[in-house]
A and B are shown apart, each in its own frame.
Chain A
Amino acid sequence: MTVTEDRPAYKWVGTRPIRHDGYDKVVGKARFAADLNLPGQLHGVFLRSPHGHARIVSIDTSAAEAMPGVKAVVTGDDFPELAAGDPERDTAINLMARGVVLYVGHALAAVAASTRAEALAAAAAIEVEYDLLPVILSLDESIADGAPLVNEDNRTAFSGSDEPSNLASVTPLERGDVDAAFEAADLVIEREFETSWVHQGYIEPHACVVDVGADGKADIWASSQGHFRVRSQTAAVLGWDTARIKVTPAEIGGGFGGKTTIYLEPVAARLSEKSGRPVKIVMTRDEVLRATGPAPGSKARIRIGATSDGELTAIEGWIGYVVGCVNNMAGFIGAMSVASYKFPNLKLEAVGVLTNTPASAAYRAPSAPQAAFAIESVIDEIAQTLGLDPIDVRLKNAVVEGDPTAMGMPHPRIGFVECLEAIRDSDHYGSPVPEGAARGIGTGFWFNIGEQSSATVNLNEDGTATVITGSPDIGGSRASMALMAAEELGIDVHRITPVVADTESVGFTDVTEGSRATFATGMAVVNACRELVDELKARAATIMGVDSEAVDWIDGAAVAEEHDPLPLDAITAKAKGTGGPLTVTASLNAGGAGPSFAVHCCDVAVDEETGQVTVLRYTTAQDAGTAIHPSYVEGQMQGGTVQGIGWALNEEYVYGEDGTMLNASFLDYRVPVASDLPMIETIIVEVPNPAHPYGVRGVGETGIVPPMSTIANAVNRATGLRISALPMSPPAILAALNER
């Protein structure tokens, strides 16, 4: 079901063609990074720290180097030391420790050998002497007075202080007068919340193949959300010019933010350089869980004031994000993700806190789910206490165009109210709650971002077209590019071949992140097509012998009075005689990414014997702006939702006291499976983004934001328990039931 504002009648946009890369993926031909092998290729493996925090006194690789099949060994000494403040210094340290290991799983050496078994045997023969340092694993330990340092390198961002610190960042946001507002409020509710680390859980482990030639040039095949960033980060970590590196994007087997940075490529490059052979590195699942991702764990204290008729007058909150062993922006972003309600009085502080755990990475709307879980839970409790409908309360306070975000800037045209209305009017919300079940509501918001994209559109001799972009396709974006090009050019979508090209074959393009591919790269495609249509009109004018101003482009053909329409393929057939190849490249730094809101509704049953929460029915409404390929918009909504359901109910990192992750497998880190779930019903709301030629908002991220509160709110109505810690796993629910 789609709620649509008036918009132009599109021929291709909004249809559901088979995706262009689909055939290869259903017959097993699609080439992911681990599927590639080069002649003479070696296998690289890492030696990883067994300690959560230690000084490396010495590394002796001599025995390993003498082992059979071993062709190269590298340690931190094989990489340049990047200056303090260098934006890639933490990346470099995370992928190969220098002097200190910061978490269990931190890489400190790597071996390339003829077989993987030989490489593993040699890595095990590397002798390391450690001097153990205190291990900090929790937010509370890290911020305690006199706490040992997690990472001596860390300085609190923009604090002006040069003192080492366990704080990554401190972000205060304030407007109005919260103290007075709480004083005047009819109801004030304050609660504390906690969420675990969770992993992005892409099914494809990180993988790359790197071949450095005798000329010093590196060919890299990588699984990444952004191969231009692989190039720039690899160059920075190695101290190379980017021109030495060509990165070809393999098909990517899931990323969700976790593949926006690098873990392997510079190490494989150095091993290849030293051995003179191509080197392939494929992580194991154990390594993926111990040394990549995860999303930060969090603690929050949220206080909200309301009038008796449900107007939310003030919010005061503290949100701490556990960012892992190096600084990142999780805290900054978390503070700003509080943007869904008007809150005339607001006082927030978000902090990032370091621990001796893996460097956290982006995960779908990074930092927003933790904040939304807390805030949406308190709002639900306010609605319940006041005896108001949870959607009505949200409608009363929902932001609309012009209302300020937490950071003050007014929202552009947004569709939060429309999403709330879509759920309110849905079959699900209108139907009675099943016997023995309870219903919850939650909402989410994500900014989305624009950034830089390039696209080249080539028209072929026969009127087919190739659309070349630099955005790795992580969820169907190639089909969306082809659909927008089909709409512009007026040709069949399957006469268009969308391609994701390597770093030497297309203009610079930022990472596929922030739900930006269909939005920003789509804009580049549209701009290129529009320029191409102008050129087609000029060529048609030449062929028809008329003035080019006299030519219109209608439904894939040049049209001029007193002439038969000249279809695109008739013009491309005469390209040589009318001026040469028809090709246009467009590049841009896209502004105007449209925020996307989502509202979720679910019915759950709680088994009071086992503590098991079963999701019986789930509906999600999300503002897509315009859905270019509705099936893949639904897919983003459903996929994000189910990741959120996993975050809510099952997924968590369990650490031993020494910082060893105790559940580093898909058996013990349990992501949702098909039998855990019902269908995920979708309502695509379309409030077009005025900044995009087709009204696109990114849809990739928002879906993961609402499920934790949606389910917690349903569990509350089922049991009376206000669950404040994630995951709501059976033991946690049972413990809470027993305390009730």
Chain B
Amino acid sequence: MSDSTTNRRVRTHVTCTVNGDEVDFLASDDTSLLDALRDELGLTGAKEGCGTGDCGACTVLVDGRINCSCLIFAPEAEGSDIVTVEGIAEGDQLHALQQTFLEGAALQCGICTPGFLVSAKALLDQNPDPTETEIRYALAGNLCRCTGYDKIVRSVQEAAVQLRGASR
């Protein structure tokens, strides 16, 4: 949004938590959360594949729920708790999903991988023992054009097994 006389864009001060850190940034009203993460915070893990919420490459957790960050205006994130792919690992310890994606060759080009990891984490956080069908529907909002999904689904299944073992 522009001020027509000065053409200086009106920007809102936004404060939120990203990957456990309190952050703040300025964003105009029409800036997407995705652009704010990428351009203001330098977190380029989330990708823009479509900008219309159809591909899931920009998926992040907002207060524990998956969202396409391209569909959220950055000022809407005020006060929320956001997790991106950069926040999934704990220190140098990869999340089980990250490890099984690597071991299971669940990525080829890797552009969709951040979105899949976030969506799959949200699924396993809520449902530790999903069926193959539940996994496929939970990931149906994420497009992958390289893998045919087979190795992604298998890697999520394997991560679920490992996480259940770890929590026992």
Contact = CB atoms under 8 A, between A and B. Distances in A.
A201 B54 CA distance: 13
B111 to A, nearest CB: 3
B47 A32 contact: yes
Contact of A27 (B48, B89, B148): B89
In terms of DSSP, what is the predominant structure of the interface of chain A? Answer: loop
Contact of B47 (A253, A256, A476, A667): A253
Interface string A223-256: 0000000000000000000000000000111111
A474 interface: yes
Contacts of A201: 145
B10 interface: no
Nearest to B141: A673
Given A27-B45, A201-B145, A256-B145, A284 B39 contact: no
Nearest to A640: B148
A35 interface: yes
B114 interface: yes
B163 to A, nearest CB: 16
Nearest to A472: B109
Given A19-B105, A254-B111, A474-B109, A642 B48 contact: no
A445 to B, nearest CB: 20
Given A117-B30, A285-B50, A638-B148, A25 B110 contact: yes
Given A27-B45, A68-B7, A674 B142 contact: yes
A22 B45 contact: no
A476 B55 contact: no
A653 interface: no
Contacts of B69: none
A37 interface: yes
Interface stretch (A52-60, A399-407, A461-469, A675-683): A675-683
Given A203-B55, A204-B47, A673 B108 contact: no
A660 B77 CA distance: 36
A9 B136 CA distance: 38
Interface string B11-47: 0000000000000000000100000001100011111
Bin chain A's interface residue count: 35 or more
A666 B143 contact: yes
Nearest to A25: B110
A69 B98 CA distance: 42
A643 interface: yes
Interface in A7-54: 16, 18-19, 21-23, 25-32, 34-35, 37
A343 interface: no
A29 B86 CA distance: 8
Contacts of A675: 133, 136-137, 139-140
B128 interface: no
Contact of B135 (A634, A674, A676): A674
Given A635-B147, A639-B145, A674-B140, A25 B113 contact: yes
A700 to B, nearest CB: 10
A673 B85 CA distance: 21
B61 interface: no
B94 interface: yes
Contacts of A69: 7
A26 B107 contact: yes
Contacts of A27: 45, 85-86, 88-89, 94, 98
A635 B146 contact: yes
Interface string B47-64: 111111011010000000
Given A285-B51, A635-B147, A22 B142 contact: no
A493 to B, nearest CB: 14
B151 A638 contact: yes
A665 B52 contact: yes
Interface string A192-216: 0000000011111100000000000
B84 interface: yes
Interface string A624-647: 000000011011001111110000
B136 A674 contact: yes
Nearest to B104: A631
Interface in B102-137: 102-105, 107-114, 117, 132-133, 135-137
Contact of B94 (A26, A256, A632, A643): A26
Contacts of A253: 47, 49, 109-112
Contacts of B148: 635, 638-643, 672, 677, 680
Contact of B108 (A29, A31, A632, A666): A632
A216 B133 CA distance: 56
Name which of A23, A252, A642 has the most chain B CB atoms within 10 A of its CB: A642
Contact of B55 (A26, A29, A666): A666
Given A34-B48, A666-B52, A674-B149, A203 B94 contact: no
A74 to B, nearest CB: 23
A475 interface: yes
Contacts of B150: 634, 638, 677, 679-680
B160 interface: no
Given A253-B47, A665-B52, A28 B151 contact: no
Interface string A171-209: 000000000000000000000000000001111110000
Nearest to A670: B54
A635 B108 contact: yes
A482 interface: no
Given A28-B84, A203-B143, A679-B150, A251 B94 contact: no
B102 A19 contact: yes
B74 interface: no
A643 B145 contact: yes
B153 interface: yes
A22 B142 CA distance: 19
A52 to B, nearest CB: 24
B54 A665 contact: yes
10 contacts: A18-B103, A26-B85, A28-B45, A32-B111, A34-B48, A204-B47, A205-B48, A639-B148, A642-B147, A680-B150
Give 5 nearest A-B pairs by CB, closest first. A28-B45, A253-B111, A642-B148, A25-B110, A631-B105
Given A26-B102, A642-B149, A666-B143, 5 more contacts: A19-B105, A201-B145, A631-B104, A639-B145, A665-B50
